[in-house]
Amino acid sequence: MVEDDAAELICISVIDGEYFIFDIDAVKRVRNDHHVAGILVGTLPQVPQQSVFLGLPVQLMPEEAALLVQQGVAHIIDEALSHGTILAVDENNIDEAAAKLKINELESTESESQGALASYSTPTVSSTDKYPLPESSVSAIYDTPRFHIYKYLHQKGYFISPGLRFGSQFLAYPGDPLRYHSHYLVRGLGYDEEFPLLELVGSGRLGTGVKKAWMVGARLRNDYQDNFAVLRPSQTKDGEGSESNDDFVSFCIEWAGFG
């Protein structure tokens, strides 16, 4: 349904404050068209007793969800609301016998169609009415250093994943993390924000030790832009650099073994 209508908004489910994508077509779209990979967090039903290959749903970082909404390609669906009518129950009036009868009916129709050995399947996505949330549900993070650097790198074409494995805010990959190693341990800062120099040593050395570089970056403050023109990244080679990238400045730190 999604493929024939590319303009349709991608549905990002918000459940208990976390962002998920359950629909495989949406997963393909964000990965192929918007280079947002997310993290697979579900058990893969074909090979359930391992944690190397995981399955749906895909969890998105708040920054990923917010960016897709800001770009107008996705909207946030409140799944608790969307499933409200299905899951609703009147505590004082539970008719379990009737429910069991209906379940038997449901299960028998399904097993009949399966022939000899009855089998039961679980759909991945519900076909309920969707309750989209307004953009304001994610826009609170638009003006955070994390979001600034996320957006900056995303616009430059990087794939970005959570940075826990190397103790940073994000990891930046030059291509799809399926095929390529990450290049940067990313730390977004406020422009005037101070950080301990020891962090530079620690992260710089750690990054170099795992064949990556540590990147710090911040969005230039408006009144600083003219004074720091020299720091602005020049137009990127392929001419892809959009205006919004001009107000961002980033540095990479690598630990060189001189001497």
Partner 1 sequence: MDDLDEDYDNVPATQGRGEQEDAESDDEQQDWRILPAMGSNRRSLPKRGEKEYEPTGSSSDRNNLDESRQAMYIALNGERRHTSKVHISGIWYPHLQKAKVLVARGPHFKSIGKADSNGVIWLLPEEVIYLMERGSMSLYNAHGDTNISLQGCYAACLGACHGHERYLVYAHLKRLGFIVQRAASFDGYVGEETVQKLTSSRARKLWNFLVQKFASFCIGLRCVFAKKIPSFGPIVCGGVWRSYDSIYKALQIIPFYSHRGSIATRKSTTAPFRVAYNIWKPRPSFKKSSPGEPDFRVVVVNAQKDKMPTLAQVDALFATLPTAHGSTSTSQQRLRDGYKNVIIGVVDCGIISFVKFGDVSFGDERIFEKKAANSTTTKYRPTKK
Distance CA 83, CA 88 (A): 8
SS3 annotation, 26-42: HHHHHHHCCCCCCEEEE
Distance CA 238, CA 84 (A): 48
In the bound complex, what is the minimum distance in angstroms from residue 35's beta carbon to partner 1?
Answer: 11
Pick the catalytic residue: 181, 183, 184, 237? 181
Using CB atoms within 10 Å of the CB of residue 174, give its burial: 0 to 12 exposed, 13 to 18 middle, 19+ buried. middle
153 or 220, CB closer to partner 1?
Answer: 153
100 or 221, CB closer to partner 1?
Answer: 100
Distance CA 136, CA 81 (A): 17
Using alpha carbons only, give the angle 238, 158, 152 rounded to the nearest 5 degrees. 80
- 173: annotated active-site residue: yes
71 or 104, CB closer to partner 1?
Answer: 104
The total of other beta-carbon atoms located within 10 Å of residue 243's CB is: 6
Distance CA 248, CA 167 (A): 23
- 75: annotated active-site residue: no
In the bound complex, what is the minimum distance in angstroms from residue 245's beta carbon to partner 1?
Answer: 20
In the bound complex, what is the minimum distance in angstroms from residue 58's beta carbon to partner 1?
Answer: 9
Q: Please, what is the end-to-end C-alpha distance for the chain in angstroms?
A: 61
Pick the catalytic residue: 180, 212, 224, 237? 212
Pick the catalytic residue: 173, 180, 224, 237? 173
In the bound complex, what is the minimum distance in angstroms from residue 231's beta carbon to partner 1?
Answer: 25
222 or 237, CB closer to partner 1?
Answer: 237
34 or 183, CB closer to partner 1?
Answer: 183
In the bound complex, what is the minimum distance in angstroms from residue 242's beta carbon to partner 1?
Answer: 21
Half-sphere exposure of 87 (CA within 13 A, CB side): 8
What amino acid positions are annotated as catalytic residues? 173, 181, 212
